[in-house]
A and B are shown apart, each in its own frame.
Chain A
Amino acid sequence: MSAIRVENLCCTYGANTPFEQHAVKNVSFEIERGDFIGLIGHTGSGKSTLVQMLNGLIKPTSGKIYVEDNDIWSEPKNIRNIRFKVGLVFQYPEYQLFEETVEKDIAFGPSNMGLSVEEIENKVKNAAKFVGLSDTLLKKSPFDLSGGEKRRCAIAGVIAMDPDILILDEPTAGLDPVGRDVLLSQIAQYQKAKNNTVILVSHSMEDVARVTDKVMVMNKGQLKMFDKTDKVFSRCDELNEIGLRVPQITKVTDALKNKGFDIPEGILTVDKAVHVISELLKKEGKL
């Protein structure tokens, strides 16, 4: 059973006006349970529209979305249940915080689900642990937190709903390098621990290369590629053509390979590159 299946999805903004715009055109794909997917694309390629359609915030102009084989728009009244199943963390989610304390804010999602007080408390604790918010922070006002803490608080607010599928739109945008790394590994740990499906929308190829198993590439509203991460990043020229690039380290190793060194294609992380190159040097007796 697939976690999400999408068939011929289209979304048109401002139909029949001079401002008509096809945000998403004829997109079809299938995501298995437990996949960690990266979604990359140029600004305005339709990524945000696509992810908002996946959790029922935007109704597609045509096409079907199946979550666990159920058509999500078969009963429009129950669309809220889909939003609990498919958790979406927006870009700059810290601007949605509103409660008096961090704890209450994280509890907003679960309490909308109509859970009991104990269950809510439990979920809030777990979610806070996943994103690394300490107990003392939980009692503070969300407006007194630092930028990175706010971000994690907002992400916890969605994780607390315990969604089967978690979608994060640019979760690391605007964070400092350490904050990025920490947040990214927390998300990766969350995905491993729960064996959930996670979709990571990002502009940072390095981030996507580091954590994802598969990558979707969007261009001008269409799905251009959907494959294993290393396979996608080995198609350097095609990515460049649509205004994307491969991670820097992949560029370096690909260049080495073209020079005739015996290095595999699609190396995505610096650690892996170091390993491969030192192996190679050892083999040639230079190390």
Chain B
Amino acid sequence: MRDIAFGQYYPTKSIIHSMDPRVKLILLVAFLVLTFCTLNYAALALVVACVASIVLLSKVPVKMYFKSLKMIVVIVLITSALNLFYGTGEPLWEWGFIKITLSGINNAVFVAARIISLILISSALTFTTSPTDLTDALERLMKPLTVFHVKVHEIAMMMTIALRFVPLLLEETDKIMAAQKARGADMESGNLVQRIKALVPVLIPLFVSAFRRAYELAVAMECRCYQGGQGRTRMKILTLHKSDYICTFIVILIIVGVVLCNVLLPHTLR
């Protein structure tokens, strides 16, 4: 259960780590859009190269990235396979009803490359940004929404708490599982129904303790006079540094590059 790499913070020192989380978030969104705007191989190569350099710059072991890719390998394979067989035009190879065309191959490559870049770049964000920084950035970025009476601070606080509780609940699950195993609970064998039934002794105590923790946390927050976002000052005030401007500039250059590639070179995808 501890092997879930996606969404885990990996603390080291790197350029990407030291960037402002707000900038990272905006650039991430820009990048996600960009990966889907690549219409020929030149543009795709540019994006892939950029993703690769971000991965390397983050100084997070490449093994971690592979771990987060492992989860979506099946999705990538299925979607590329589907795209491979649904191409149009002259078939290059035919066997019964299966036809493989050049456009099918192109589609498959693009889909795979796009999904993989998508995952890598989002992992890069979560690996290099601590959850609190991330929700901080979200809160700041969503601030304009307060005009529409959206409770931005409360949403951000809920996200912070939810994220904080994930490792706690995982730990709790491990503990309860161990305790029930010590009483002879069998969780490794049996058919599906038996296995689901075997989870009851774990889930009930887990829910009970989750409610208890939530209640205790609420009391603790109230004791410290927490009353929502109004009039609250921040301990860490986010400021933009030179590196943030440079990175933004580089990303703008890449966007321009991709647009130029799309405009000047013939499109591979239709």
Interface residues of A (CB under 8 A from B): 52, 55, 57, 80, 83-84, 87-90, 93, 95-98, 108-109, 112-113, 143, 157-158, 161
Q: Does B13 contact A (CB under 8 A)?
A: no
Q: Is the interface of A mostly helix, strand, loop or mixed?
A: helix
Using Cβ atoms and an 8 Å threshold, which residues of chain A touch B185?
A: 108, 112
Instruction: Known A95-B176, A96-B176; judge A83-B205 contact (CB<8 A).
Output: no
Q: How far is the CB of A137 from chain B (nearest CB, A)?
A: 19
Count of A-B residue pairs with CB < 8 Å: 56
Give chain B residues whose Cβ lies under 8 Å from the Cβ of A89: 182
Number of interface residues of B (CB under 8 A): 17
- Residue B164, interface by CB 8 Å: no
Q: Which of B175, B178, B180, B184 has the most CB of A within 10 A?
A: B184
A90 interface neighbour in B182, B184, B208, Cβ under 8 Å: B182
Known: A55-B182, A112-B186, A161-B184. 5 other contacts (CB 8 A): A52-B178, A88-B182, A90-B175, A90-B182, A157-B183
In the complex, what's the smallest C-beta–C-beta distance from B89 to chain A, in angstroms?
Answer: 49
Residues of A within 8 A of B200 (CB): 98
Chain A nearest CB: distance from B193 CB in Å?
17
Which of B175, B176, B183 contacts A108, CB < 8 Å? B183
Task: Report B109-125 residues with CB < 8 Å from chain A CB.
Answer: none
Nearest chain A CB to B155 CB, angstrom units: 31
| Chain A residues with CB under 8 A of B267 | none
Nearest B residue (CB) for A51 = B182
Whether B209 sits at the interface, judged by CB under 8 Å, is yes
- Between-chain CB contacts (< 8 Å), 19 pairs: A55-B182, A57-B178, A57-B181, A83-B182, A83-B184, A84-B184, A88-B182, A89-B182, A90-B182, A93-B179, A95-B208, A96-B201, A98-B204, A108-B180, A108-B201, A112-B183, A112-B186, A113-B184, A157-B183
**CA A116 – CA B247 in complex, angstroms?**
70
* Chain A residues near B182 (CB-CB < 8 A): 55, 57, 83, 87-90, 158
CB distance from B93 to the nearest CB of A (A): 45
Residues of B within 8 A of A113 (CB): 184
Given contacts A90-B175, A90-B178, A98-B200, contact A109 B205 (CB under 8 A): no
A95 pairs with B205, CB closer than 8 A: yes
Q: Which of B191-211 contact A (CB under 8 A)?
A: 200-201, 204-205, 208-209
Query: Do the beta carbons of B178 and A161 come within 8 Å of each other?
Result: no
Closest 7 CB pairs of A and B: A112-B184, A98-B204, A96-B179, A109-B183, A88-B182, A90-B179, A98-B201
Q: Which B residues touch A95, using CB under 8 A?
A: 175-176, 179, 205, 208-209
Nearest B residue to A96 via CB reads B179
Cα–Cα, bound, A109→B180 (Å): 8
Interface membership of chain B positions 210-236, coded 1 if the CB is closer than 8 angstroms to chain A and 0 otherwise: 000000000000000000000000000
Contacts of B180 in A (CB 8 A): 96, 108
Contact of A96 with B208 at beta-carbon distance under 8 Å, contacts A90-B175, A112-B184, A112-B185 already known: no
